[in-house]
Amino acid sequence: MRPRSIRRPEKRKEPRRNEGKMMPLTLAEAGEENIIKKIGGKQEVKSHLETLGFVVGGTVTVVNAIGGNVIVNVKESRIAVSREMAQKIMI
């Protein structure tokens, strides 16, 4: 009897688009590239996130979530944002 080969899921090469659905960045799976669809909050918060590289249409990948903070890759930089801020970034 031959050993069964284990099929591993293929990694996505294109960012996840979540057609018609939005969810906060805090719900994204680690390692999966997503497209930013909306940034909520006051204008001051939006401007701050934009300065960090979070722009609508841009891509973001969650690296890890530690102690309430979310570590992400955005525009070739690794950034930690608070859970509160990550809730405002919709993918």
**At residue 12, does pLDDT exceed 80?**
no
From the list 75, 62, 67, 70, the residue with the least C-alpha distance to 16 is: 62
Q: What does the pLDDT look like over 27-61, one tens digit per residue?
A: 999 999 999 999 999 999 999 999 999 999 999 99
More confident residue, 55 or 2: 55
In this structure, is the dihedral angle defined by the CA atoms of residues 20, 23, 27 and 33, taken in order, positive or negative?
Answer: positive
Q: Which range, of 10-14, 21-25, 39-43, 80-84, averages the lowest pLDDT?
A: 10-14
**What mean pLDDT is reported for the chain?**
87
From the list 21, 19, 22, 90, the residue with the least C-alpha distance to 60 is: 90
Indicate the pLDDT class of residue 68, thresholds 50, 70 and 90: confident
Domains of the chain from N-terminus onward: 26-90 (2.30.30.90)
